[in-house]
Amino acid sequence: MTITQLDCLQCGASYDYIGGSSHVPECPDCESTCVSPVGKLHIEGNDYWSAPNGTGELQISAVDEHDRHVEFCIGFQRSSGKLTQITIEESSIQAQQCSVVWPLKELFAEQLSEFGITELINPMGADADNPTQR
């Protein structure tokens, strides 16, 4: 049995799921389905744009085990990127508003490498005022 920390992007609730299987994709407070991804995320694709000065944005689209669409926006300057926004279904929030850290660097390794991003700052988590590498 494991304890999984979860976030609701709709109401901001943070809660723990205790169990051996995937959690239900619904917030116990507001019943929104805009909660942390369920199980393993599967990358569906990405979109990328950049300007001549080396700044740009990488959008990575994924689905979770309940076929919910999740999109991550990473702003970057040259080889340094920062997760800026997360969208689950149609609800978007700024990454630093999430209280739970999702392990994204490993998940996005291929996409980051493809676009030359070698450093990713993930501002999710309790220490959002002082982001660290995740």
pLDDT reported for residue 126: 44
What's the pTM? 0.81
Q: Is 114 left (phi over 0), alpha (psi -120 to 50) or beta?
A: alpha
Domain assignments of the chain as residue spans, ordered by start: 34-133
Residue 107's SS3 state is helix
Q: What is the rounded CA–CA span in Å between residue 97 and residue 84?
A: 10
Q: What is the rounded CA–CA span in Å between residue 10 and residue 64?
A: 18
Residue-wise pLDDT for 88-124, tens only, equals 888 888 888 887 778 788 889 999 999 999 999 989 8
Q: What is the CA radius of gyration of the chain?
A: 15
The tokens for 126 are 């309790």
Residue-wise pLDDT for 35-53, tens only, equals 888 888 899 999 999 999 9
How do beta strands 14-19 and 2-7 pair? antiparallel
